[in-house]
């Protein structure tokens, strides 16, 4: 599978480790300065998108922005970029939705191949939600497409 961004094409099919950090490493430029700039750009854009969605939810009625799959993906991305994983409870608290609704959305994302659920190794009561390789690639491509600073 090749990643087509605004400035690069990369073959990530050879990555054996599907962890978020390994995948992001492969998607980033090879030089240190380029990696730092790319990391800052992705953090800035995903953070901006998350703040944008929070502002929407604070202004508009719940019924207008009910579908929260995008929000869950943004939360997972910003969490993973910051070096922490998101659990179902954190997602539920952030979105201010019922447990049932959040689990339904996570199930939808799981069926679409965008997230994986796994038990927390340190606390078996917690369920961790992580982006899949395909979701990470899609989000990276999305932010490349809308990043007008690279044009």
SS3 131: strand
Q: Are 39 and 28 in contact (CB under 8 A)?
A: yes
Within 8 A by CB and 6+ apart from 105, the residues are: 67, 68, 69, 72, 97
What b/e sequence results for 105-137 when a residue is b if at least 16 CB atoms lie within 10 Å of its CB, and e otherwise? bbeebeeeebbbeeeeeeeeeebbbbbbbebbb
Backbone angles phi, psi at 138, to 5 degrees: -65, -45
Number of separate domains in the chain? 1
Q: In what order do the strands lie in the sheet with 127-131?
A: 86-87, 127-131, 115-119
8 A C-beta contact, residue 25 and residue 31: no
Contact indicator for 1, 137 with CB cutoff of 8 Å: yes
Q: Which residue range forms the structural domain that includes residue 118?
A: 2-150
Category of 83 on φ-ψ map: left (φ > 0), alpha (ψ -120 to 50) or beta: left
Tens digit of pLDDT at every position of the chain (151 positions): 333 333 344 444 444 444 555 555 555 555 667 667 777 888 888 888 888 777 776 766 665 566 789 899 999 999 998 889 999 999 999 998 899 999 999 999 999 999 999 998 988 899 999 999 998 888 888 887 777 665 5
pLDDT given at position 66: 62
Domain with 68 in it: what CATH number?
1.10.10.10
β-pair type (127-131, 9-11): unpaired
């Amino acid at each position: 599978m090749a990643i087509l961004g605004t400035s690069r094409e990369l073959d990530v099919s050879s990555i054996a480790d599907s962890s978020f950090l390994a995948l992001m490493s492969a998607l980033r430029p090879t030089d240190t300065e380029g990696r730092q700039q790319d990391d800052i750009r992705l953090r800035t854009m995903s953070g901006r998108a998350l703040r944008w969605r929070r502002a929407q939810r604070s202004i508009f009625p719940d019924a207008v922005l009910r579908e929260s799959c995008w929000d869950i993906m943004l939360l997972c991305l910003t969490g993973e970029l910051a070096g922490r994983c998101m659990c179902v409870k954190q997602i539920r608290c952030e979105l201010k939705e019922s447990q049932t609704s959040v689990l339904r959305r996570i199930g939808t994302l799981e069926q679409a191949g965008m997230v994986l659920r796994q038990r927390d190794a340190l606390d078996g009561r917690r369920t961790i939600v992580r982006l899949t390789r395909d979701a990470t690639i899609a989000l990276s491509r999305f932010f490349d497409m809308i990043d007008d600073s690279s044009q």
